[in-house]
Amino acid sequence: MHIERIELREVALRLKFPFRTSFGVEQDRRILLVSVFADGQEGVAECVAGEFPGYAYETTDTAWHVLKDFVAPKLLGRSFATAAELLHELRFVRGHNMAVAAVEMAFWDAQARALGVPLWQLLGGRLRDIPVGISLGIQDSIERTVELAEQSVAQGYRRVKLKIEPGWDVQMVAAVRDALPDVDLTVDANSAYRLTDAPRLRELDAFGLAYIEQPLAHDDLIDHAALQSQLATAICLDESIHSPDDARKGLAIGAGRVINLKVGRVRGHHEARRVHDIAQSFGAPVWCGGMLESGVGRAANLHLSTLDDFLMPGDTSSSSRYWDEDIVEEALEAKDGLQTVPAGPGSGVTLKRDLVERLTNRHEVLKG
């Protein structure tokens, strides 16, 4: 695949509701779309960096800078047979996985389109109907939380994940569990606790949660291992896992028993597959995390979710849950808690060009 041109585009997209977590609130998304033009194909991907460095250090602006000033100059006018080759060329970029992932994922999309096959086939996936759950942000009241959790179960979602933080945990989870005794229930702290909070977190063992996601620091594995040894509930690692090595180390020391796999956080599909394979070798399930993506990123997540070790419902709920109007033509809607992987070629989604143009804040064409 000969890379002729790379385009960066920032699109403004407003979530239907403010999404609140322990690290902040997001509503007005500044979504960075990356297009890779190669062999007459356009591959498109979404960079999952946020507007502020709350979940990770990367932001829309740092990703733009790294892609424009360091990544694109290395790739333009060059040919790569595989995404692995492209990644090798970018090994000089330390970190900035979300920026690198965006160009890597756009490359995969272009390649799958050139071959005329859906992305999941290139990735080696097998599942076609993807079980999905919802991630429920921090609400103003417990009553409202219970109501929203009940609604999502009535809509067929297969798992409910509740965002927690100190002061918004045991009582709230108890109320949801009371209302929904059989639902697959999980919590996500986004690093809001410390190891000294272990007694508090141990109280969550009473609710039969499938896992507690990233309770401790974003850069920690050691304390998570200490905490895991004190909990009956499995810990699921999210923020702490940036690479296959992180996954190996985390699972080897017992820092968790489940991994939330986000393709952007681990540098793209190639590395995501390696994380998947490592988790599988440890007998640890993975599931596909979400980053409040538009249909572009949501579709990529669904393709990745076709791999065998995606054994738990992902955060790839219906596009219409987040957006009044998504930027892709295809509806990505869950039915009975299942999303169907878009049919190919590539990611299987097409941009609504006029809408994207209207929502574009900045656009840059990079040529060799």
Residues taking part in catalysis: 163, 262
Picked from Mg ion, ligand OSB, none, the partner binding residue 162 (CB below 5 to 8 A depending on kind) is none
Report the amino acid identity of residue 120. W
Rounded Cα distance, 22 and 54, in Å: 9
Minimum Å gap between C-beta 135 and ligand OSB is 4
Closer to Mg ion at the Cβ: 238 or 309? 238
- Nearest CA to 166 out of 147, 194, 145, 142 is that of 194
Scanning residues 191 to 230, which ones bind ligand OSB (CB under 6 A)?
A: none
Closer to ligand OSB at the Cβ: 111 or 152? 152
Burial of 189 (0-12, 13-18, 19+ CB in 10 A): buried
Minimum Å gap between C-beta 289 and Mg ion is 6
DSSP-based three-state secondary structure for 311:
coil
Scanning residues 169 to 188, which ones bind ligand OSB (CB under 6 A)?
A: 188
Scanning residues 295 to 324, which ones bind ligand OSB (CB under 6 A)?
A: 315, 317
Residue 55 DSSP class? S
195's tokens: 């190891």
Report the amino acid identity of residue 144. R
Minimum Å gap between C-beta 86 and ligand OSB is 26
The piece of 7-15, 110-118, 191-199, 284-292 that touches ligand OSB (CB under 6 A) is: 284-292
Contacts of 116 (CB under 8 A, 6+ apart): 344, 345
DSSP-based three-state secondary structure for 328:
strand
Closer to ligand OSB at the Cβ: 317 or 347? 317
Exposure on the CB side of residue 4, measured as CA atoms within 13 A: 8
With contact defined as beta carbons under 8 Å apart, do 275 and 248 qualify? no
Minimum Å gap between C-beta 321 and ligand OSB is 8
Closer to ligand OSB at the Cβ: 188 or 220? 188
- Taking the CA atoms of 47, 53, 56 and 61 in sequence, report the sign of the dihedral they define: positive
Minimum Å gap between C-beta 163 and ligand OSB is 7
The piece of 115-123, 219-227, 228-236, 286-294 that touches ligand OSB (CB under 6 A) is: 286-294
Q: Does position 238 bind ligand OSB by CB under 6 A?
A: yes
Cis peptide before 215 (omega within 30 of 0): no
Rounded Cα distance, 149 and 180, in Å: 8
Minimum Å gap between C-beta 25 and ligand OSB is 11
With contact defined as beta carbons under 8 Å apart, do 165 and 145 qualify? no
Scanning residues 102 to 141, which ones bind ligand OSB (CB under 6 A)?
A: 135
Which of 290, 313, 342, 345 forms a contact with ligand OSB (CB under 6 A)? 290
Q: Residue 96 CA to chain centroid, in angstroms?
A: 15
Site string for ligand OSB, 45-84 (x = CB under 6 A): ----------x-----------------------------
DSSP-based three-state secondary structure for 264:
coil
Binding site for Mg ion (CB under 5 A): 188, 213, 238
Picked from ligand OSB, Mg ion, none, the partner binding residue 315 (CB below 5 to 8 A depending on kind) is ligand OSB
With contact defined as beta carbons under 8 Å apart, do 237 and 255 qualify? yes
Closer to ligand OSB at the Cβ: 90 or 291? 291
Helices 97-115 and 269-281 meet at what angle, rounded to 10?
A: 100
Q: Does position 327 bind ligand OSB by CB under 6 A?
A: no
Picked from Mg ion, ligand OSB, none, the partner binding residue 135 (CB below 5 to 8 A depending on kind) is ligand OSB
Contact residues: ligand OSB, CB under 6 A: 55, 135, 188, 190, 238, 289-292, 315, 317
